[in-house]
């Protein structure tokens, strides 16, 4: 039991555990953490996505035979409802969404609109 408590405390210090309890990365309070979409959900981050680590992405730079946007063959973690993590309490998550999310969403939609208008890489991005 004592050993499990130490393990549990260690996980809490890292900020997240199997019950989504942890320490909020902004206010530092212990409690239930909410899923923070990074970038915001309305900025095209509301669907299944591949999460690449920095080490994997660095291969797009270090591998001279690979084009910078070629992610084929890299290891990733599948995230079912967009990219993000349990890192903030509900209050801080809501506050960051209000303070920064709306402006980021406008920026992302502007880029999405430009991509659609210019038919970049022959793909259509959702815009509505
Ligand atoms: Zn907080």
Number of domains in the chain: 1
What is the pLDDT averaged over residues 2-6?
Answer: 54
Q: 107: domain range? A: 2-46+81-122
Rounded distance from Cα 12 to ligand 1 centre (Å): 14
Give a yes or no: residue 96 inside a domain. yes
Report the C-alpha gap between 114 and 29 in whole angstroms.
41
Rounded distance from Cα 125 to ligand 1 centre (Å): 34
CA angle 23, 43, 28 (to 5 degrees): 10
Rounded distance from Cα 28 to ligand 1 centre (Å): 6
Rounded distance from Cα 92 to ligand 1 centre (Å): 4
Give a yes or no: residue 101 inside a domain. yes
Q: Report the pLDDT value the prediction gives residue 3, as an integer from 0 to 100.
A: 57
Give a yes or no: residue 127 inside a domain. no
Q: Report the pLDDT value the prediction gives residue 22, as an integer from 0 to 100.
A: 93
pTM of the model: 0.63
Residue 64 clears pLDDT 90, i.e. is over it = no
């Amino acid at each position: 039991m004592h050993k499990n408590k130490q393990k549990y405390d260690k996980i809490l210090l890292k900020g997240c555990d199997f019950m989504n309890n942890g320490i909020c990365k902004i206010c530092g309070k212990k409690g239930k953490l909410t899923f923070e979409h990074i970038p915001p959900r309305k900025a095209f981050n509301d669907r299944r996505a591949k999460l690449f680590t920095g080490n994997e992405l660095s291969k797009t730079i270090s591998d001279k035979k690979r084009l910078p946007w070629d992610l084929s063959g890299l290891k990733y973690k599948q995230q079912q409802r967009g990219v993000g993590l349990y890192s903030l309490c509900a209050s801080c998550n809501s506050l960051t969404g209000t303070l920064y999310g709306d402006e980021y969403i406008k920026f992302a939609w502007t880029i999405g609109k430009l991509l659609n208008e210019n038919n970049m890489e022959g793909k259509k991005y959702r815009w509505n």
